[in-house]
């Protein structure tokens, strides 16, 4: 389906091997805090918060951590104020990369992201320079043990665009405007949602050489390690013979 899709699969595998749970929790806590700050602490009235809490539960985050993050977001507990920033750029081979960050200091984050692009032979681009190659979509990663026919019936009736079968999960795509509707249908259907979010899905995929593919995987790995990076999206097809870090 997309470079993002394959990288998601790789990250799920690597996450288990690398035991990056602390890093995952930090990102989830930031997202919960910002979601509560922007839309309030009621999950039923705040779809972004409900999604963030669902993703935290899927990672077995302790309930107390979730509660404290919500209270920091609503101002009932003291905490850091995070700002949302979107960065765009290009890596080797003309691969577009979109990066979503939550940071308490954009003056620190911006040059660090620019440095990573340049370190791996790419460059940061102006706003809109890469976005035109992507569509904003709802993305739901559903446990592979799910009945595929039933899943398809439920989500298509709710307005989903497509279902993609990956090695370890189903990926359901929707229009961004239908995100909440598909989310509700999955919840009511009792499906096990591993992760869900609004994502940038590329129109087309770029084929790269083994060397360029490994270079892009290296910058994505570096972005994955950056404390302010929440998510990123690309438009390249990972070569089958590329060596993963």
58 and 92 belong to one structural domain: no
Does 89 lie in the same domain as 61? no
209, part of any domain: yes
Please check whether residue 190 lies inside any domain of the structure: yes
From residue 37, give the alpha-carbon distance in Å to each of 11, 55, 97, 117, 165: 28, 18, 28, 31, 35
- Domain CATH number, residue 192: 3.30.70.980
Number of domains comprising the chain: 3
Same domain, 220 and 171: no
In a domain, 222, yes or no: yes
- Among 74, 104, 119, the domain-final residue is 74
Kindly give the confidence (pLDDT) of every residue in the chain, 245 residues in length, as a single tens digit, with 9 standing for 90 and above.
Answer: 344 445 555 554 555 544 567 788 999 999 999 999 999 999 999 999 999 999 999 989 999 999 999 999 999 999 899 999 999 999 999 999 999 999 999 999 999 999 999 999 999 999 999 999 999 999 999 999 889 999 999 999 999 999 988 888 899 999 999 999 999 999 999 999 999 999 999 999 998 898 998 999 999 999 999 999 999 999 988 766 665 55
Helix (H, G, I), strand (E, B) or coil at 42: coil
Instruction: Check residue 49 and give its pLDDT.
Output: 96
pLDDT at 1: 34
14 and 101 housed in the same domain = no
Say what the pTM is. Answer: 0.88
Domain containing 196 equals 133-202
Is the same domain home to 49 and 15? yes
């Amino acid at each position: 389906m997309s470079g993002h899709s394959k990288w998601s699969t790789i990250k799920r595998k690597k996450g288990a091997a690398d035991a990056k749970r602390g890093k995952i929790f930090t990102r989830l806590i930031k997202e919960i805090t910002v979601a509560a700050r922007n839309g309030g602490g009621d999950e039923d009235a705040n779809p972004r918060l409900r999604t963030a809490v669902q993703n935290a539960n899927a990672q077995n985050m302790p309930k107390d951590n979730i509660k404290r993050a919500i209270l920091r977001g609503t101002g009932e507990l003291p905490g850091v104020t995070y700002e949302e920033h979107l960065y765009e750029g290009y890596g080797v081979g003309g691969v577009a990369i979109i990066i979503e960050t939550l940071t308490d200091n954009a003056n620190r984050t911006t040059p660090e992201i620019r440095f990573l692009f340049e370190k791996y032979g790419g460059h940061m681009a102006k706003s809109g320079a890469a976005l035109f190659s992507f569509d904003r979509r709802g993305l739901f990663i559903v446990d592979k043990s799910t009945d595929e026919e039933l899943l398809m019936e439920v989500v298509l009736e709710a307005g989903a665009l497509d279902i993609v079968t990956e090695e370890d999960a189903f990926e359901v795509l929707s229009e961004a405007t239908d995100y909440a509707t598909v989310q509700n249908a999955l919840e009511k259907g009792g499906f096990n949602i591993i992760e869900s979010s609004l994502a940038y899905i590329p129109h087309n995929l770029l084929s790269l050489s083994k060397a360029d593919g490994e270079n892009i995987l290296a910058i994505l790995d570096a972005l994955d390690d950056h404390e302010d990076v929440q998510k990123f999206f690309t438009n390249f097809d990972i070569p089958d013979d590329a060596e993963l870090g």
